[in-house]
Amino acid sequence: MRLYRIISINHSWMQRLIMKIFGYLLGNETDGVLFFKEKHLLLPLNARYGPVRLRSTMSRLLLFLLEKGNIGLIRDEHIMKNVWEIHGLKASGPRLWQVVNDLKNKLAKVGVDNNFIMRVEGRGYLINNLYVESIYIRAAWVMLDNFMLESQNITSFKLVKE
């Protein structure tokens, strides 16, 4: 990961630029579930359900499915590589199936429909992303001069490599 320091930009333009995905809303604002990606936490907005913490691999799986769900079918091989193998873990078809089913059970415990994650036999998974919304946060203004930003092909302002 390359880090850069922002050294001179227009602050009003910056306010719109520095946004980071904090998590996801699954469902609607009254009966949905918030997924806090850094805390590995599912927090239902409906008082009928309690919060559920996910293990790190399961959280990475959910995050990967949410990030890639808008492209359609997510192939098994692609999931196993990005959720397990690049983190130094062994992946297999049965292990993927087991973790997906455990994830579906945890999602059901907070009120998410069982068809949110759908299996396409022998190929991969689909996400019913009709009710998935990214939640963004802004960088704190107090720390703007020290703010570290990941490079994402940003060319509109001057960057100094740290």
Domain count, the chain: 1
Instruction: Examine residue 80 and state whether it is found in any structural domain, yes or no.
Output: yes
29: domain range? 18-139
Look at residue 147 in the predicted model and tell me its pLDDT. 43
For position 130, what pLDDT does the model report? 83
Task: DSSP letter for 16, please.
Answer: H
In 45-114, which residue ranges form alpha helices assigned H by DSSP?
A: 56-68, 76-83, 93-109
Residue 4 within any structural domain of the chain? no
The H-or-E segment that residue 113 falls in is: none
Asked whether residue 149 is assigned to any structural domain, the reply reads no
In a domain, 55, yes or no: yes
- Residue 146 falls inside a structural domain: no
Q: What is the DSSP letter of 157?
A: S
Beta strands, E only, the chain: 3-8, 19-26, 33-36, 41-44, 52-53, 74-75, 117-120, 124-127, 132-138, 148-150, 158-161
Nearest to 103 by CA among 72, 68, 70, 59: 59
Which of the four pLDDT bands, split at 50, 70 and 90, describes residue 31? confident
Residue 3 inside a domain? The answer is no
Which CATH number belongs to the domain containing residue 96 in this structure? 1.10.10.10
How does pLDDT run across 51-106, given as a tens digit for each residue? 999 999 999 999 999 999 888 999 999 999 999 999 999 999 999 999 999 999 99
* Residue 37 confidence (pLDDT) above 80: yes
**Is residue 86 in some structural domain?**
yes
Is the confidence at residue 11, as pLDDT, over 70? Answer: no
Closest CA to 130 of 44, 26, 59: 26
Residue 35 lies in a domain: yes
